Structure 1
Amino acid sequence: MGQGSFHVTIIGAGLGGLCLGQALRRRGIAFDIHERDPALTARPQGYRIRIDRVGREALAACLPSNLAALFHQTCAAAGSPGRFLDPQLAPVRGRSVATWHDAAADRFEAEGDLSVHRVTLREILLTGLEDRVRFGHAFARCEPDPGGGLCVQFVDGGAVRTDLLVAADGAGSAVRRQTLTDAEPADTGAVCLYGRVTANAGVTRARALLAGPAVIFADGFAAILDPMTFRPPPVGTAAAGITPVGDYLYAAFIGPRGTIGFGEVLPPPGSALLAERLHALVRAWHPDLRSLLGPTEPASLAVLPIRSAAAIDPGAWPRDVTFLGDAIHVMSPAGGLGANTALADAAHLASRLGEAASGEAALSEALATYADDLHRRAAAAVRASADAAAALFTSAPTLLTTV
């Protein structure tokens, strides 16, 4: 390759990896993406994601204008800024934290959070990158290449030579486990049980009852409920590979394992035990809430352990390898920062790599600048997420009363 030219291999086609791919394509930087799953929708991966100002700015920086507009057009329509309630639907005060923001009243306004269906966002991020992404291609190991850079080997026996390896393969990152052996995330002892109700009548009723997204503060845990309602998709989205999504009520219960009702071994997605736990958690709740959550689809339910990773000194990072998203800074979902931080990582890394490609900086210098910036941002996000988790798990909410 000529001066300033290099090749990037991205491991992981999640939000961060695909967002980085979009940004590299816009900059004319050679790259490929390798994903261990056989397809984009091969396993349960959650439903609703809140995209805050940081995430919105990152998407705007990385996506071409048509895809940035499509992101906004496919977001759910917010009914209200959001409410804090107790299980009997009484308002609660004094439980918000700095990372929680009001929902955007309009999908194009400058401030406020947006809610998007996770698969829809991944499909948008994949658009135009289909020839750069190899599904069913699991990372095995990497080692120095005799000609410089790295030789990346895959489980199926294939291999590629690259100048930079980007680990974007999530909390269980195989790249991190090989290259940063002391950086395994810690189990926080908390879990997130999530699922959805797709009956349209129920979603309409949820919007009337909750007036939009709501956090329900129970005894030692919390539930996030968000009625996701969508306008008709723009003409041509199905032909472009964007799967139509019907309205649904998103529900997530977050708290310590014992409080939510699980031991060390968690049931698999769709297990009948998950539906039993959900109904047990809401047994004493207001009848209207129980009736909303009663038809939660058993097949949609999954429970995940919540892990957290302390900020890792970039001085320990191996040469020719860098990281983004949960692969390096997994955090509690309580703060709503994980996906947004990953998108910001992609935008920052692409910007630095753009400087290296244009000759403004050496590749090693650009990577060092990115790593220092990520270390600072990730440390703040992990701390804020831990604070948000503490606010969710407090046992005694303060009811909002009128005088």
Structure 2
Amino acid sequence: MWTTCPECQGRGKKSRRLSKKVRLNYQIAFEEFEKTQGNGTPPVRPKANLYKCLNCNGSGLMESASFPEPDTENFPHVAIIGAGIGGTALAVACLHRGIPFTIYERDNNFSARSQGYGLTLQQASKAIEGLGIFSLKDGVVSTRHLVHTPEGKVVGEWGIRKWLQTDGKVAAKRSNVHIARQSLRLELLEQLGGDDVVQWGHQLVDFKECEDESLDINFLVNGEIKSTKADLIVGADGIRSSVRKLLIGDDITPLRYLDCIVILGICPLSALEGVDSSLLDSATVFQTANGNERIYIMPYTSDSVMWQLSFPMSEDEAKSLSALGPSALKEEACRRTQWHDPIPQILEATLATQISGYPVYDRQLLDSELLDKGGSSTLIGDAAHPMSPFKGQGANQALLDALSLARAIAKGCKPLSQWRKSGIRKSVLTEFEAEMLERSAAKVRDSADAAQFLHSDIVLHEGDEPRGRCLKKKEA
């Protein structure tokens, strides 16, 4: 069990004291600005440099005999809508800080529907430590990434194994960790004591803000309306978020089709009889492309791989193909990828029950002014900034959002903060949303760009670096 580190207040970082010179220069500049009676440009208040808290080694957490008791007197009660990766992560971060919460999910149980396939933890590898997970039981580390032509020619290679081969002095960079989405979700729920903590079968109907800025929230449960109250509602309910629809509406920022379809599958290595390939060593990620179709294959568990085939297609055709079901999707995938080994064998050995496909969408970047109107409500993860899967950033950003919001609540609603008087938006949400939107904006744009260049000749550029990096060099 965990609680927040007393030295850094759960932030994982501490602020260095501003030097006397910096403080004096700011004071002089501010006095000069005041003499202009507001006509000049105000000086920017200097920010203290942050450094890793050594007491908790940067996680913001310390082991504890028990979790903190929910502090209902000082903290807002948070209603979390959605028990996916972002929602469960937010619940965990609130638990560690004594922030009272209730998590609601429209599904009837944990396994009611597929929660996606595999994901790759990049920036969020550090964030999960801030959620009390210091080793992923089912995580698989990749140390090599290859790009091929359909004939099997390698046109790009990177990763720790490549760096160490070419230059023994190169420091090993942080590795990517691959994990099944449901496995990570289960580890987060275990932090909460199991999935009984989730209010299953709760479909959000609507919510309204009361005069005291608290919220009345209505759910449809077993055919009946059930009402509850909260101080803050957080939409963590995915790309078709009900909270977002009620808060902003679909017309202002509708789904934006990214001109391609994705077909996904999971194949156990045991199904590949007679296939001997170094690409299947459970530590290699590889992709193959021809300028139109592109397949990406990564370790899913220690004894299986996940593949993701994508190609351009009109929205109507993509919807129609997806609606035909797994068998049709498998047939289409096999037809388009008669390429080098072991790709045809992997697709052929994948059971139709382990295949799905969907048109790829994102949304236009949110304007903070749209969220400002939300009062005591906000969004995280795909509900706030959905993006294509081609940069592997959706889950990473959701985890970072969750930890950032919990830390913001702990800071903005601490004792004597008088947040009830000033409002949760002014005390917490405006600053949190500004940070979230700024951080995720580049990821949304890069993911949308990747949907285009990964299905063009750019992907076949010869160079030992990720495909987006060579494109940026050309543009520069």
The answer to whether the superposition gives a TM-score over 0.5 is yes
If the length of structure 1 is used for normalisation, what is the TM-score?
Answer: 0.83
Equivalence for 2:6: none
Taking a change above 3 Å as real, the CA distance of residues 20 and 397 of structure 1, as seen in their structure-2 partners, is closer
CA displacement 1:223-264 (0-9 Å, x = unmatched): 11113342xxxxxxxxxxxxxxxx2121101222259x9444
How much does 1:269 deviate?
8.2
Distance 2:155 2:212 in 1: 62
How many residues are treated as equivalent by the alignment?
A: 368
For 1:20, what is the secondary structure of its paired residue?
Answer: helix
In the alignment, which of 83, 86, 93 is matched to residue 16 of structure 1?
86
How much does 1:170 deviate?
0.1
Tell me if the contact between 1:206 and 1:292 (Cα under 8 Å) persists in the aligned partners. Answer: no
Taking a change above 3 Å as real, the CA distance of residues 329 and 101 of structure 1, as seen in their structure-2 partners, is farther
Q: How does 1:3-402 map to 2 (within 5 A)?
A: 4-52=74-122, 54-61=123-130, 63-64=131-132, 67-69=133-135, 71=136, 73-78=137-142, 80-93=143-156, 111-129=174-192, 130-145=195-210, 148-156=213-221, 157-181=225-249, 182-200=252-270, 202=272, 205=275, 208-209=278-279, 212-230=284-302, 247-258=303-314, 262-268=317-323, 270-283=325-338, 285-317=339-371, 318-359=374-415, 362=419, 363-364=424-425, 365-395=427-457, 397-398=459-460, 400=462
Taking a change above 3 Å as real, the CA distance of residues 27 and 143 of structure 1, as seen in their structure-2 partners, is same
CA displacement 1:315-355 (0-9 Å, x = unmatched): 22210001100001101111111110111111111110111
Taking a change above 3 Å as real, the CA distance of residues 101 and 353 of structure 1, as seen in their structure-2 partners, is farther
For 2:115, what is the secondary structure of its paired residue?
Answer: coil
Taking a change above 3 Å as real, the CA distance of residues 372 and 170 of structure 1, as seen in their structure-2 partners, is same
Tell me if the contact between 2:261 and 2:357 (Cα under 8 Å) persists in the aligned partners. Answer: yes
Distance 2:104 2:301 in 1: 33
Tell me if the contact between 1:270 and 1:300 (Cα under 8 Å) persists in the aligned partners. Answer: no
Distance 2:243 2:159 in 1: 34
Deviates more, 1:319-328 or 1:125-134: 125-134
Gap runs ≥5 in structure 1? 231-246
Distance 1:160 1:207 in 2: 56
For 2:451, what is the secondary structure of its paired residue?
Answer: helix
How much does 1:207 deviate?
5.6
Distance 1:102 1:348 in 2: 30
Taking a change above 3 Å as real, the CA distance of residues 366 and 397 of structure 1, as seen in their structure-2 partners, is closer
Tell me if the contact between 1:314 and 1:371 (Cα under 8 Å) persists in the aligned partners. Answer: yes
Tell me if the contact between 2:139 and 2:178 (Cα under 8 Å) persists in the aligned partners. Answer: yes
How much does 1:217 deviate?
1.3
Distance 1:33 1:351 in 2: 18
Tell me if the contact between 1:38 and 1:135 (Cα under 8 Å) persists in the aligned partners. Answer: yes
How much does 1:172 deviate?
0.5
For 1:87, what is the secondary structure of its paired residue?
Answer: coil
Tell me if the contact between 2:94 and 2:406 (Cα under 8 Å) persists in the aligned partners. Answer: yes
Look at both structures and tell me which one has the larger radius of gyration over its CA atoms: 2
Distance 2:290 2:243 in 1: 39
After superposing on structure 2, the runs of 4+ consecutive aligned residues of structure 1 that deviate more than 4 Å are 100-105, 203-207
Instruction: Give identity over the alignment, percent.
Output: 27
Tell me if the contact between 1:46 and 1:194 (Cα under 8 Å) persists in the aligned partners. Answer: no
User: RMSD of the alignment, in Å?
Assistant: 2.8
For 1:155, what is the secondary structure of its paired residue?
Answer: strand
Equivalence for 2:58: none
Tell me if the contact between 2:149 and 2:460 (Cα under 8 Å) persists in the aligned partners. Answer: no
CA displacement 1:106-134 (0-9 Å, x = unmatched): xxx87121100111101001114334311
Q: Comparing both chains, which one has the higher relative contact order based on Cα–Cα distances under 8 Å and sequence gaps of 6 or more?
A: 1
Distance 2:409 2:115 in 1: 29
If the length of structure 2 is used for normalisation, what is the TM-score?
Answer: 0.71
Taking a change above 3 Å as real, the CA distance of residues 101 and 177 of structure 1, as seen in their structure-2 partners, is farther
